[in-house]
Amino acid sequence: MHNHLIFKALIVSAWLIIAAQPAVAQKWALNDTVYLFSNNIAYIDVLNNDAGNDLTILDVEITEYPTRGFVERNFACNCLVYTPNNDFGTSVFEDNFFYTLTTPPDNPEGSSPALINLAQVFVYFMADECSDCVWPGDSNADGISNAWDLLPLGMAYGAYGSPRDSVSTAWAGHSATDWTGSFGSALNYKHADCNGDGLVNNADIAAIEQNYGMTHEVSTIPDMPYSGSDVVISLEILNESVEIGDTVVANVLINGGDGVANVYGLAFSVNYNVVPDSGTVNVNFPVSFLNDGYNTISVQRQAGNNIEAAITRTDNVLASGSGLLGVVSFVMEDVLAGKTEEENLVLQFTNITATNPDGTKLSVLPQGDEVDIVLSGNTPPATGGSTGVNVFPVPANTIVTVQTGNTGASRLQLLNAAGQVLHEQTLQEQQHNATIETQTLDNGVYLLKIYTPAGVITRKVPVMHR
């Protein structure tokens, strides 16, 4: 019932409220569409398709609230959380709300105006008869679009079947006729045709990137065949030690028990215990036994304190070999866990999936690595010191006060463990005190950056709600 909602046309637009010359870092808001199978809370990553650098949920303001539910910002997921009313999906089947995305002025004096863009979020209830529909970007049908969805594309690459009536990558469940091929015995090839044009090729990768991190409800995640193997994947940090501001470089190495690994595709996440410069996190896949430079596709995305990446062949030929597979790199901005002489940079794998050409998953043994973090003598002290900087109370509950002393500070930033800016504040000349609200933050340790003429001073801000 109410399947007509699926095909409802969306007006994809954004309105500029305050006109100004476009800035290099200008942020643009685009409309979003969310489909619910049941009356459940929805986590909406509205920033996923918005444009701009270092977007955080603090840039978002709700300007018109939904009438059939409630929406609020959530700093833990860096998203909006929509809670439908009890009658959603029974007597009412759609809702919407508006939000703005703000670009700060080009200069700290504020002579150029801020840019504010308005976007709309549509929420639709969708009946269960679309449980086998194709969600563009979720080619493994596990309920989320991410790097692991590249693996089925590699297996079905070049396959063709019936095009969908809706040739679209919009995040929605699209009805589709089954194709002749399948991954193992559980999942039809049609799910790899992300754009619905009837052919699996590079064009379908765009849907994974466009809808990355988007989720939908699933009743059952398809079981894929599984086989034991002796594949070992390891991280080797090339730096002997690292300091804040250094570029961390780590090799991704692979081998088998007899020195040879047999794989077709690989998806993984690398977790790090430091704050990286989010614009520098990267995974490079050089030419290797797996990547011949022609018959491979890859994708990557930073997600919280992880970099997620995948690479797969597209020619249905199992690759055999060992050695260097990829290179992970990023600039280390700071250490969030607290600075001690024994502090280590730790990189480790999480959620590794290796496959062969028919979709069988292979067991993989992951091995991480760690090196010392050198605490430079130029690193600002953790408390007060000659600069007169003080941060209190520690831990913070609902508010934290920052005293900048004689530093001449002009700007403050508060970052989470993923390096995302949660709060930014410009200080007026001769302003030596500022407050930051922390009541909406999750318990944990955050990084405060104080920008001064002499450089950036950092402090740890632990938050503990009583």
Residues 234 and 331 in one domain: yes
Q: What pLDDT does 13 receive?
A: 30
Any idea what DSSP says for residue 267?
E
pLDDT tens per residue, range 195-220: 999 999 999 999 999 999 888 877 66
Q: Is the dihedral of CA 188, 194, 198, 203 positive or negative?
A: negative
Q: pLDDT tens, 30-64?
A: 888 887 766 678 888 877 776 666 667 777 889 99
Q: Contact at 8 Å (CB) between 127 and 97?
A: no
Is residue 11 in a domain? no
Distance CA 322, CA 254 (A): 5
The domain boundary, picked from 95, 125, 155, lies at 125
Q: Let me know if residue 220 belongs to a domain.
A: no
Confidence check: pLDDT of 20 > 50: no
Q: Distance between CA atoms of 98 and 119, rounded to whole angstroms?
A: 6
One domain for residues 347 and 262: yes
CATH number for the domain spanning 110: value is 2.60.40
Q: Does 323 share its domain with 429?
A: no
Query: Looking at per-residue confidence, does 457 or 1 come out higher?
Result: 457
Q: Both 323 and 404 in a single domain?
A: no
Residues 6+ apart with CB under 8 A from 26: 51, 52, 103, 115
In a shared domain, residues 234 and 327: yes
Whole-angstrom CA distances from 248 to 136, 355, 377 are: 34, 29, 20
Between CA 60 and CA 80 the distance in angstroms is 9
Q: Could you tell me the residue range of the domain that residue 397 belongs to?
A: 390-463
Q: Is residue 157 part of a domain?
A: yes
From 36-50, 259-273, 362-376, 413-427, the region with the lowest mean pLDDT: 36-50
Average pLDDT of span 71-75: 87
- Residue 132 domain-assigned? no
230 with 369, same domain: the answer is yes
Cβ atoms of 195 and 155 closer than 8 Å: no
- The answer to whether residues 261 and 365 belong to one domain is yes
Residues 394, 292: one domain?
A: no
Indicate which CATH number applies to the domain containing 400: 2.60.40.2470
Tell me the mean pLDDT in the region 331-351: 73
Q: Same structural domain for residues 58 and 191? A: no
In a domain, 435, yes or no: yes
Within a domain: residue 14?
A: no
Q: What is the pLDDT of residues 418-429, one digit of tens each?
A: 678 889 999 988
Ranges 53-67, 132-146, 262-276: which has the least confidence: 53-67
Residue with tokens 């990558």: 169
CB atoms within 10 A of CB 53: 10
Split into its structural domains, the chain has a count of 4
Are 360 and 319 in contact by the 8 Å Cβ rule? The answer is: no
Distance CA 307, CA 281 (A): 7
Kindly report the pTM of this predicted structure: 0.60
Q: Are residues 369 and 253 in the same domain?
A: yes
Residue 11: per-residue pLDDT: 28
**Total Cβ atoms within 10 A of residue 10:** 12
Output 119 or 103, whichever has higher pLDDT. Answer: 119
CA distances from 223 to 142, 159, 188, 216, 297 (A): 10, 22, 12, 18, 24
